[in-house]
Amino acid sequence: MLILKASHVLCKPGLILSPGCVRIQGNKILEVARSLEVGPKETVLDLGRAIIFPGLINAHCHLEYTLFKGKLSSFRGSFVEWIKGMVQLKKTFSSKEYLESFQAGINLALRSATTCLFDILSKPEILLFKFHSPLRIYSFLELIDVGKSGWNDEKLAGSLLFFQDPFPFKAIGISPHSPYTASLELYALSKAWCTKEKGFLMTHVSESLDEYRMFKEKKGALFEFICSFNPSYRDFTPSSPLRFLAERELLGPNSLLVHLNYLDQADYDLLEKNPWTVVYCPKSHAFFGHDPFALPALLEKNINIVLGTDSLASNDSLDMRKEIQVAHHSYPSISLLDWWKMVTINPAKAIGMAGKLGVISPGAYADLAVYPFDQPSSDPLEFLLFGDSSPFMIIVDGRIVHCPETL
């Protein structure tokens, strides 16, 4: 067993031990207290003036696009042109390059105190290579059938491996990409799998004004672009993107809705009545220049809000603290406690892991990060959220995966 000691242990919102100790047995936290009696076979790491805290959770990422950083910056502010650029850029990467991109993303996340990621995997071909992830990754297989192209033997083989054990990370759900790139049949099949396997459905919804106009008004650049692939998209009754899915009962209770940047009152009513999680990606949101995100209104309705980085195709970092810092400028009245919940206990709740992730308590997974903390007069939570230093230790599933010797 291992005991960590530090001047501060941030256990959960509102509970900070000073000093504090954490006893780890295997991959779980066994005990948390201000002091612990050391057993004869226990190892003690005294971290001194430091904060031990639950590793941050990135609730929406595309690790395989990490090496896309900066390659689409010329499309900043133009969602449709960015999509066209993505389509072309994706064709230039090999399966091995996608794997390298995936691993580069893991390294970036570790260096910013993230221990858990909800990742969208659109290139299951990388699973044909052997690799290891030091992060806790919950993976969603992305599905697109607009144009019905892009499938080959490697993609099929990788998709089959996605659902098999052993797996380098946890296959937790399906991700029909969006209501304009995935058919109604594909959504229905995805929901059916999630119901049968107790999985989770993650989908991009109402990400852009172009998408909102496509479904609400049946017009706009995105509408014409998608109809050029599939003319049948002209044949539907106008509605918001969210209601387009909800009214057809294509969203189960275990759904994570990414973006939701454009909503009307009927959408708010739907969100209030259903146990869905909303994923807000502040820096990607800013990249496209979307209208202000309805964060205060959603929080007021007690909707489960979580934060994600999206990919480096529309961001310049995978640091969850940067997401909070950017969003805080737009919403300064939102409390530090609420921001903290959005990167710890809220995403844990979203995937049925409340009490297991995002907290330091007996029975939780030992997913921890440690920062030096030599400012005793500072608010520890504010220090964590608005600092920019690198953690000097990361523990995932009870194993030290990042420490000074490896920096």
Give the integer Cα–Cα distance in Å for 256 and 118.
10
Give the integer Cα–Cα distance in Å for 68 and 101.
8
What DSSP line would sit under 9-58, residue for residue? Answer: EEEETTEEESSEEEEEETTEEEEEES--PPPTT-EEEE--SEEEEEPEEE
Residues 299 and 156 occupy one common structural domain: yes
Q: Tell me if 389 sits within 8 A of 371, measured CB to CB.
A: yes
Give the integer Cα–Cα distance in Å for 360 and 291.
37
Residues 254 and 319 occupy one common structural domain: yes
The model's pLDDT over 161-207, given as tens digits with 9 standing for 90+, comes to 888 866 778 999 999 999 999 999 999 999 999 999 999 999 999 99
Give the integer Cα–Cα distance in Å for 250 and 264.
19
Residues 203 and 310 occupy one common structural domain: yes
Residues 19 and 91 occupy one common structural domain: no
3-state secondary structure at position 400 = strand
3-state secondary structure at position 1 = coil
* Encoded amino acid at 83, one letter: I
Give the integer Cα–Cα distance in Å for 10 and 52.
6
Q: Which pLDDT score, from 0 to 100, does residue 220 have?
A: 87
Query: 10 Å Cβ neighbour count for 377?
Result: 4
Residues 295 and 318 occupy one common structural domain: yes
Query: 10 Å Cβ neighbour count for 237?
Result: 9
Residues 40 and 89 occupy one common structural domain: no
The two structure tokens encoding residue 233: 């998209």
What DSSP line would sit under 270-302, residue for residue? Answer: HHHHS--EEEE-HHHHHHHTPSPP-HHHHHHTT
Question: Considering 350, 372, 395, which residue would you say is the last residue of a domain?
Answer: 350
Q: Which residue has the tokens 């390659």?
A: 71
Residues 24 and 165 occupy one common structural domain: no
- Of residues 79, 97, 99, 95, the one with CA closest to residue 87: 79
Q: Tell me if 102 sits within 8 A of 122, measured CB to CB.
A: no
* Encoded amino acid at 184, one letter: L
Query: 10 Å Cβ neighbour count for 96?
Result: 12
* Encoded amino acid at 212, one letter: Y
CATH number at residue 333: 3.20.20.140
Count structural domains, the chain: 2
Q: Which pLDDT score, from 0 to 100, does residue 407 have?
A: 35
The model's pLDDT over 380-400, given as tens digits with 9 standing for 90+, comes to 999 999 988 889 999 999 999
3-state secondary structure at position 169 = coil
Residues 276 and 391 occupy one common structural domain: no
Residues 99 and 235 occupy one common structural domain: yes
Q: Which range of residues forms the domain containing residue 18?
A: 2-55+359-406
**C-alpha pair distances (Å), 378 with each of 90, 141, 170, 373:** 45, 42, 38, 9
Q: Which pLDDT score, from 0 to 100, does residue 404 have?
A: 56
**C-alpha pair distances (Å), 99 with each of 91, 96, 215:** 15, 5, 35
Radius of gyration over every alpha carbon of the chain, rounded to an integer in angstroms: 21
Give the integer Cα–Cα distance in Å for 225 and 228.
5
3-state secondary structure at position 152 = coil
Total-model pTM: 0.95
Residues 63 and 46 occupy one common structural domain: no
Q: Which pLDDT score, from 0 to 100, does residue 406 have?
A: 42
Q: Tell me if 202 sits within 8 A of 120, measured CB to CB.
A: yes
H-run or E-run covering 202: strand 200-205
Residues 219 and 334 occupy one common structural domain: yes
Q: Which pLDDT score, from 0 to 100, does residue 187 have?
A: 96
- Of residues 396, 366, 359, 356, the one with CA closest to residue 29: 366
The CA angle 284-290-293, to the nearest 5 degrees, is 85
User: Residue 53: left (phi > 0), alpha (psi -120 to 50), or beta?
Assistant: beta
* Parts of the chain with a pLDDT under 70: 147-151, 165-166, 404-407
Residues 218 and 238 occupy one common structural domain: yes
CATH number at residue 46: 2.30.40.10
The model's pLDDT over 229-249, given as tens digits with 9 standing for 90+, comes to 777 777 888 899 999 999 999
Residues in the chain: 407
